[in-house]
Amino acid sequence: MRRPLVAGNWKMHGTCASIKQLLNELAEQALPDDVDVAVFPGLIHLQAVGAQVAESHLVVGSQDCAVQLEEGAMTGETSALQLKDIGCSMVLVGHSERRQLQDETDSVICRKFIAAQAAGLTPILCVGESLAEREAGQALVTVQRQIDAVLVELGVEVFNNAVIAYEPIWAIGSGLTATPEQAQEIHAQIRAHVAKYSATVAQDLKILYGGSVKAANAAELFAQVDIDGGLVGGASLNAKEFSAICRAAGN
């Protein structure tokens, strides 16, 4: 039985004051006991968020980490060990916005995945196709290539301590959501692909859906057998909306 996870990606949003308020509002909301809830603030807010949620069950993660594990001459970068040191336990790797805006390649993402695990962080590997790839019937090919860049390179066992987030690019921040059937189809194919290497790892692997998840569509998405929760962008900046999404992931 996979325990659901709902992760809020705050992207480059918030000020010290607005984030404090968001967490205060979230603390007033009922969060389910049978769902893991994680928030991913921007780098500069990680420590303050960690301190504020220290007494709660909320998990804190980073939106990115450096390819290099140890500290060193990498101006502007933050290593996975430094993230671990300030209390992070998870990290997003390969978010489509970083693949697109920072030109992150599959091999760079694989190195970040390695660094994350070496530091004791759980990586959430983000994968997903563009609209053009979907329309060309290449959605699964793209997603498999992105997964294989880690799976084939490092071996299936690394997914014992990792999460995959399927996020079709055309659904991110666009208001367009994959239908539950469209999402389930890819999630099932991802699990079947991993199962070719290890049925046990595939069975236990959490696969999140991301792309305009809202309180209004979360329950239907999370009811799909291979969808184990969500990676939520915009809606995670609203405490009522985000907590309703978390509740939709519970039983």
Task: List contacts with ligand PEP (CB under 6 A).
Answer: 9, 11, 167, 172-173, 210-213, 231-235
Of the two residues 159 and 170, which places its CB atom closer to ligand PEP in the complex? Answer: 170
* Residue 61 vs 210, nearer CB to ligand PEP: 210
The answer to whether the beta carbons of residues 242 and 236 sit under 8 Å apart is yes
Paired strand residues for 208: 165
Helix 139-154 with 180-195: angle, nearest 10 deg: 30
Q: Measured between alpha carbons, how far is residue 48 from residues 15, 45, 88 in Å? A: 11, 5, 12
At closest approach, how far in Å is the CB of 147 from ligand PEP? Answer: 17
| Longest Cα separation, the chain | 48
**Dihedral, CA atoms, 13, 17, 19, 20, nearest 10 degrees?**
170
- C-alpha 16/C-alpha 33 separation (Å) is 28
Q: How far is the CB of 238 from ligand PEP (least distance, A)?
A: 11
Closer to ligand PEP by CB, 182 or 198: give it: 182
Smallest distance, ligand PEP to C-beta of residue 20, A: 22
Q: How far is the CB of 167 from ligand PEP (least distance, A)?
A: 5
Nearer to ligand PEP by Cβ, of 11 and 193: the residue is 11
d(CA 76, CA 92): 17
Secondary structure letter of residue 11 according to DSSP = T
Minimum distance between the CB of residue 22 and ligand PEP, rounded to whole angstroms?
15
Helix 180-195 vs helix 215-222: angle between axes, to the nearest 10 degrees? 40
Please list the active-site residues.
95, 167
Nearer to ligand PEP, 119 or 126 (CB): 126
Compute the distance between CA of residue 115 and CA of residue 105 in angstroms, rounded to an integer. Answer: 15
Smallest gap from Cβ 159 to ligand PEP, in A, equals 20
Rounded to 5 degrees, what are φ and ψ at 69? -75, -50
Do 5 and 163 contact (CB within 8 A), yes or no? yes
Q: Which residue of this chain has its Cβ atom nearest to ligand PEP in the complex?
A: 233
CA dist 237 and 235 (Å) reads 5
Of the pair 155, 173, the CB lying nearest ligand PEP is at: 173
Residues in the chain: 251
